[in-house]
Amino acid sequence: MTSWSRSLDQAGITAPRLRSDFSEQRRLVARFARAEYAAVRLLLPAPCVPDIIAATAFMHHSDNLIDQGSASERAAAFTAWESRVRAALDGGSADLPVLHALLDAITRHPQLRRQVETYLDGAPEEVHWEGFATESDLRRYVDAYSHPAFMLIACLLAPRASADSYAAGCRTFIEASQRLDFLADLAEDLRTGRLGIPEDALTRHGVTLGALRAGVACEALGELVRERAAQIRTGLTASYGLVDLVEARNRPFIRALVTIQELRLRAVEEKGAGLVRGSAGPSVVASLRVLAREHRAARVFTRAFTS
């Protein structure tokens, strides 16, 4: 793994203040998304790592602002944040480190600006989200918010050709991942009162909100988890098509991203109806095996490319 200082050098980030701001984002991402941070550092080419970190930090910062408090508090926080971000984009400068790093990343990846604007356009869907009545509502949420949020990072790995196929593949992956998040975080979401499983799915299986809030791990909930897990697996399997669309140097990262989601899905399936009492995540050992395998693949490519 290339040192962080060399990654900054190879990305052309030389100004002391910029290096400090990027380093601050690195520390934040390493704290709140350890597995993803490890994958980025181990599997992606060093020159693109700082910009991936900057985009990830921006997404996390934004999501935190609009995911806390009451609906009115979330709306007020988003209004202030959107104004600040758009002013930074239009003026080309920002004092806040997370925005300063983002603006610098945009100078190397102009497509990132459009993705930031698309993300801001769709963020009200997250601000006002309280739950879903139907599957159509969930898909609209993914289209408006989850997909643009993922594309903040994914656009930095986009192929020069097959852009439409790549965007569609990212949409398939993030819908499966979002559905998986809603299952894995069922107990936590119940505590906040914002459930990610549509009401029509609950009704079809005879699962009531009252039973969920009471922590009842009934057979009907187990059937619901199995049904949704099968749907998620279909999406993740299709997502491996992204591997062939990106440049060879980025394939280990994409492959690891999908594989680790499959490990998460397996953990969710094993917990089943017990998800109502607590979240489920993949084995750390299994995740490390995936990263180690793909790290070897990344090193093989690097040696071949530089020899």
Amino acid at 228: R
Task: Tell me the pLDDT tens digit for each residue of 287-303.
Answer: 999 999 999 988 876 65
Residue 303 has a pLDDT of: 58
Mean pLDDT of all residues in 117-134: 95
Dist. CA 113–CA 84, nearest whole Å: 14
Q: What is the mean pLDDT of the chain?
A: 94
Q: Which of 1.20.210.10, 1.10.540.10, 1.10.600.10, 3.40.50.1100 would CATH assign to domain 131-307?
A: 1.10.600.10
Residue 16 has a pLDDT of: 97
Mean pLDDT of all residues in 141-147: 97
Output 195-200 pairs: Cβ under 8 A, ≥24 positions apart: 195/131, 195/132, 196/131, 196/132, 196/138, 197/132, 197/224, 197/228, 198/131, 198/132, 198/133, 198/134, 198/135, 198/137, 198/138, 199/131, 199/132, 199/133, 199/134, 200/133, 200/134, 200/135
Residue 302 has a pLDDT of: 61
**Which residue intervals of the chain bear CATH 1.10.600.10?**
1-128, 131-307
Residue 307 has a pLDDT of: 46
Contact 55, 104 (CB under 8 A): no
Say yes or no to pLDDT of 111 above 90.
yes
Its CATH architecture, for the domain 1-128, is Orthogonal Bundle (1.10)
Residue 172 has a pLDDT of: 98
163-184 vs 219-239: helix crossing angle, rounded to 10: 160
Mean pLDDT of all residues in 25-46: 93
| Bridge partners of residue 131, in order along the sequence | 195
Task: Tell me the pLDDT tens digit for each residue of 168-212.
Answer: 999 999 999 999 999 999 999 998 888 999 999 999 999 999 999
Residue 298 has a pLDDT of: 86
Mean pLDDT of all residues in 78-100: 97
Dist. CA 297–CA 248, nearest whole Å: 10
Task: Tell me the pLDDT tens digit for each residue of 259-279.
Answer: 999 999 999 999 999 999 999
